């Protein structure tokens, strides 16, 4: 899978994909992430990519030309399956969206900044608008990092134990059960016996029960869905 990211602050995206699981995915050639500085497509020698909004009001808006020129040029290497704009007024990001996106081959993510991007780019180019939560970040970069992380780890072959993503919270509309490691007795707090008795069927039942309990307690809305 190839993911291109368009941003005015590429430095913000230097580290998130260079560690741990996503680093391995890139090294294995399963994931390619290219961060592009939108200023490469600036409209003048002052590197301008934004301007005041029509109708007045505080905050700059990213102009349509740099974005359109960037998308047209990048798309010469292959048409995007999805052009995503990160924005707080987008569709809330869920595990289901991550699952669907992990099956795509070629994605572009546009990070907004300032007041956002010119509406005409949203109308003409963007195929999907994503919000990572009901709060406003200073730009779309951290949100894009969240989305790339969530989908990158789902690409087949990325996780060592491929089945492990199947048991993540949200994959079956339940939160994940608690997990324990050594020591079996930590300052008097013991690991639930069932986990140390070696009966896989009982362990599975216990985990499912714990998932249900946890979901009912913390996210009853998920059980109503
Ligand atoms: N840009 C600013 N805030 C955002 C959010 N909550 N989700 C996605 N992109 C954003």
Q: Tens of pLDDT along 21-70? A: 999 999 999 999 999 999 999 999 999 999 999 999 999 999 999 999 99
The response to whether residue 88 sits with its C-beta less than 6 Å from ligand 1 reads yes
Distance 100 CA to ligand 1 centre (A): 20
In this structure, are residues 85 and 75 in contact, taking their beta carbons and an 8 Å threshold?
no
State both tokens at 124: 């003409």
Cα dihedral across residues 161, 183, 189, 199: positive or negative: positive
Please state which of the four CATH numbers 3.40.1280.10, 3.40.50.620, 1.10.1740.110, 3.20.20.140 is assigned to the domain occupying 2-152.
3.40.1280.10
Exposed, middle or buried, 89 (CB in 10 Å: 0-12/13-18/19+)? exposed
Contacts (Cβ under 8 Å, ≥6 apart) of 31: 1, 3, 17, 22, 25, 152, 155, 158
Ligand 1 atom at shortest distance from the alpha carbon of 87: 9
Distance 191 CA to ligand 1 centre (A): 40
Question: Please, which residues bridge with residue 100 across strands?
Answer: none
pLDDT category of residue 206 using cuts at 50, 70 and 90? very high
The response to whether residue 131 sits with its C-beta less than 6 Å from ligand 1 reads yes
Q: Which of 89, 112, 114, 149 to mutate for ligand 1's pocket (most ligand atoms within 8 Å of CB)?
A: 112
Distance 117 CA to ligand 1 centre (A): 13
Query: Which residue's alpha carbon is at the smallest distance from atom 4 of ligand 1?
Result: 88
CATH 1.10.1270.20 fits 169-224, yes or no: yes
Distance 208 CA to ligand 1 centre (A): 34
Name the pTM for this structure. Answer: 0.94
Write the DSSP string, 92-104. Answer: EP-HHHHHHHTT-
pLDDT of 135 over the 80 cut: yes
Give 178's DSSP letter: P
Q: 3-class SS at 29?
A: coil
In this structure, are residues 49 and 42 in contact, taking their beta carbons and an 8 Å threshold?
yes
Say if 2-152 and 169-224 have the same CATH topology: no
The response to whether residue 86 sits with its C-beta less than 6 Å from ligand 1 reads yes
Q: Taking residues 79-107, what's their average pLDDT?
A: 97
State both tokens at 78: 């292959």
Cis amide linkage into residue 62, ω under 30° from 0: no
pLDDT of residue 146: 98
In this structure, are residues 188 and 135 in contact, taking their beta carbons and an 8 Å threshold?
no
State both tokens at 65: 């030309």
Q: Specify the long-range contacts of residues 198-204, CB closer than 8 Å, at least 24 apart.
A: none
Instruction: State phi, psi for 192 to the nearest 5 degrees.
Output: -50, 130
- Element (DSSP H or E) covering residue 130: strand 128-131
Q: Taking residues 84-99, what's their average pLDDT?
A: 97
Q: Which of 117, 143, 147 to mutate for ligand 1's pocket (most ligand atoms within 8 Å of CB)?
A: 143
Distance 142 CA to ligand 1 centre (A): 8
- Element (DSSP H or E) covering residue 22: helix 20-27
For the chain, the structural domain boundaries read: 2-152, 169-224
Q: Tens of pLDDT along 159-177? A: 876 567 777 888 889 999 9
Q: Which of 13, 59, 90 to mutate for ligand 1's pocket (most ligand atoms within 8 Å of CB)?
A: 90
Query: Which residue's alpha carbon is at the smallest distance from atom 7 of ligand 1?
Result: 131
Instruction: State phi, psi for 168 to the nearest 5 degrees.
Output: -60, 155
């Amino acid at each position: 899978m190839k993911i291109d990211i368009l941003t005015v602050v590429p430095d913000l995206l230097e580290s998130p994909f260079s560690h741990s699981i996503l680093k391995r995915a890139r090294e294995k050639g399963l994931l390619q992430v290219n961060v592009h500085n939108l200023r490469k497509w600036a409209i003048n020698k002052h590197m301008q990519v934004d301007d005041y909004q029509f109708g007045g009001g505080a905050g700059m808006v990213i102009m349509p030309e740099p974005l359109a020129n960037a998308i047209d040029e990048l798309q010469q290497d292959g048409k995007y399956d999805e052009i995503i704009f990160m924005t707080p007024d987008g569709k809330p990001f869920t595990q289901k969206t991550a699952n669907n996106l992990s099956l795509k081959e070629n994605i572009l993510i546009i990070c907004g900044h300032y007041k956002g991007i010119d509406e005409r780019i949203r109308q003409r180019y963007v195929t999907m608008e994503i919000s990572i939560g009901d709060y406003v970040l200073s730009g779309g970069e951290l949100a894009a990092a969240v989305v790339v992380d969530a989908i990158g780890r789902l690409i087949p072959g990325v996780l060592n134990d491929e089945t492990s993503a199947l048991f993540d919270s949200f994959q079956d509309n339940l939160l994940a059960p608690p997990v324990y490691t050594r020591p079996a007795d930590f300052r008097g707090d013991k690991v639930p016996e069932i986990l140390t008795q070696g009966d896989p069927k009982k362990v599975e039942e216990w985990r499912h029960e714990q998932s249900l309990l946890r979901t009912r307690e913390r996210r009853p809305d998920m059980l109503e869905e």
